[in-house]
Structure 1
Amino acid sequence: MSPPIKATPPGFSALEFRTALGMFATGVTIVTARAADGQVIGLTANSFNSVSLAPPLVLWSLAQAAASLAVFRAGSHYAINVLAREQKALAERFASRGNDRWSGVSFIEGNGGAPLLEGAAATFECFNRSRYEEGDHVIFVGEVERCSWRAGASPLLFHGGRYYTEHPL
C-alpha cells in the first residue's frame, strides 16, 4: 500500500486546534528589526525554536497578514529577545495593535540595527537566512551571529493563554 499523497482533512475546529496548541508551554520573545527607513519594529512571538547548533540556526514564524511582514522579508537582520519574567507588560504591549510599542522602551542597537531590549533574559542577533511560506504563516530561519544571556534571569512563559514563570520541580 502506497502512502497517501495529501493529509486527511482535520476533524476539529480552529478553536480546538488553538486550545490543544496552548497546552504546549513556550517562552515569550519579542522579535525586532529596523526597517529600511530607519523605523524600529517589534512584535511578541512564542513561535521561536532552535534548529541547529552547527551552524547556529533558530526559527520563528509570522502571520502572512502581519503588517510588519514586508520589513522582516526584506531586512538582512533581526533580533530575537527572550523575555524575562518581569517583562510581562512588554510582551502584552508588543502583542497589541494601535499603540506606540516603543515609547519608553530601552534598547541598544544590534547587528543590522535590530533593537536588543534592555532586561531580556537572552538575545539572538540573526542574519535573515531563509523564509518558507506554509499555511497562513511565513517561517523565518535566522543564522545567529551573536547571542547573549543574563545569568540568573527567569524566563517569561506562556501556557493556555496565560503568562507564567518557572518553578523548579
Structure 2
Amino acid sequence: MTDAVEFDSTTFRRVLGHYPTGVCVVTAVDQDGPTGMVVGSFTSVSLDPPLVAFFPAKSSSSWPRIEQAGRFCVNVLASDQQLLCRQFSAKGADKFAGVAHRVSFLGSPILDGVVAWIDCTLEAVHEAGDHYIVLGRVKALEVDRPDKPLLFFQGAYGEFAHLP
C-alpha cells in the first residue's frame, strides 16, 4: 500500500479551490512607510491566549516588511471591496495610493470600510513548505461594519448569502 495518491499542483489547487476563503489585507508600517498584502489564509487559533494566524508565501515581497515591523493589522474586507483587494494584490505598486485609513492602537493601518480589524503583535513564524505560518497575538479588535465579507471561491470573488 502506498502512502499517498499521486497528484500535481494543478489538481491540488483545483480541489482546494472548492473551499471558500475570506479575504483580508494584512497591513503594517516599517521604516519605509505603510505596507500590505492580501491573504486568503487567515484563521483564529486560540482564545487563551488570543492568537490568529495567516500564511504568506515565501516569495512574498510584502511579508518581510511586515515581519520586520513586528506588528500587523488584519483587515477583513467587505464584499464591495474587490477593487481594494486587487490594488493590494498588485506587485510593485503603491498599494496605499488613494486608500483611506486610520492608525490602529499598535500603529498599523486600519483600512476604511472593512468589516472588521484585528491588531496584533508578531508571536511566532514557522516554515511550512513554500509558505510561512505566522502567529499573531491579538491586542485589539473590532467590527467596523457588520456587512457581508468578501469571499474567494473557485478562482472568483463573491459574497456570503444566508440560507432561508
TM-based fold match above 0.5: yes
Q: Residues of 1 paired with 2:145 and 2:102: CA distance?
A: 19
What percent identity do the matched residue pairs reach? 34
The alignment status of 1:65 with 2:31, answered yes or no, reads no
Corresponding residue for 1:89? 83
The alignment status of 1:124 with 2:123, answered yes or no, reads no
5 Å matches for 1:33-72? Answer: 33-35=28-30, 37-72=31-66
The alignment status of 1:20 with 2:15, answered yes or no, reads yes
Change over 3 Å in CA distance of 1:133–1:111 after alignment to 2: farther
**Counterpart selection for 1:79 from 73, 76, 87:** 73
Kindly provide the amino acid, as one letter, of the partner of residue 141 in structure 1.
L
Q: Residues of 2 paired with 1:43 and 1:10: CA distance?
A: 34
Corresponding residue for 2:152? 158
Q: Residues of 2 paired with 1:119 and 1:153: CA distance?
A: 10
Gaps of 5+ in 1: 1-6
The alignment's C-alpha RMSD in Å is: 1.5
Q: Residues of 2 paired with 1:105 and 1:16: CA distance?
A: 36
TM-score relative to the length of structure 2: 0.93
My pick for the range that moved more, 106-115 or 54-63, is 106-115
Q: Following superposition, which runs of at least 4 residues in structure 1 exceed 6 angstroms of deviation? A: none
Q: Residues of 2 paired with 1:152 and 1:43: CA distance?
A: 23
- How much does 1:8 deviate? 3.9
The alignment status of 1:32 with 2:27, answered yes or no, reads yes
Q: Residues of 2 paired with 1:165 and 1:43: CA distance?
A: 20
- How much does 1:111 deviate? 3.5
Kindly provide the amino acid, as one letter, of the partner of residue 132 in structure 2.
V
